Amino acid sequence: MTSLLILNGPNLNLLGTREPEIYGAATLADVEAACVAHGTAEGITVACIQSNHEGALVDAIHAAKGAHAGIILNAGAYTHTSIALHDAIAGTQIPTIELHLSNVHAREEFRHHSYIARVAVGVICGFGAAGYTLAIDAMLAHLGEAS
């Protein structure tokens, strides 16, 4: 069965606890449960990992090789800083969608640049928690496995 990995980076464990005007009211557990339920409805498996540590995110991308057909990655602030995450995606060649809850292009200048976008299949941002299920659908369409 097709499996996708939902990979969330630093501070996303705080979702739903602060800054709801930017990131919404849903907790990370809510978002992950919605992704798993959406995957079940689509006939696929969805696994979820969150880490605040750059190296742990690199390790998760490496471990996804052969285990998951694609990655939905909200790398949080590492999006704007991490050549290591860029290299992990490029090195494993796992189809990856870059995702953000907020519209990073409507925010501070430092959020406009992404090291991930260059190696991503595509980028989804600005749709809040709904972006995660949109990204699952987009990944399945990309993989040619939408039900």
Q: Which of 38, 68, 86, 100 binds ligand CA2 (CB under 6 A)?
A: 100
Of residues 38-67, those binding ligand CA2 (CB under 6 A):
none
Separation CA 142–CA 133 (nearest Å) = 14
User: CA dist 86 to 40, 72, 100, Å?
Assistant: 29, 14, 16
Q: Is 8 in the site for ligand CA2 (CB under 6 A)?
A: no
CB closer to ligand CA2, 65 vs 113: 113
Closest distance to ligand CA2 from the beta carbon of 19 (Å): 4
Number of residues that bind ligand CA2 (CB under 6 A): 17
Q: Which of 18, 53, 62, 118 binds ligand CA2 (CB under 6 A)?
A: 18
Separation CA 87–CA 127 (nearest Å) = 27
Report the run of H or E that residue 131 belongs to, with start and end: helix 130-143
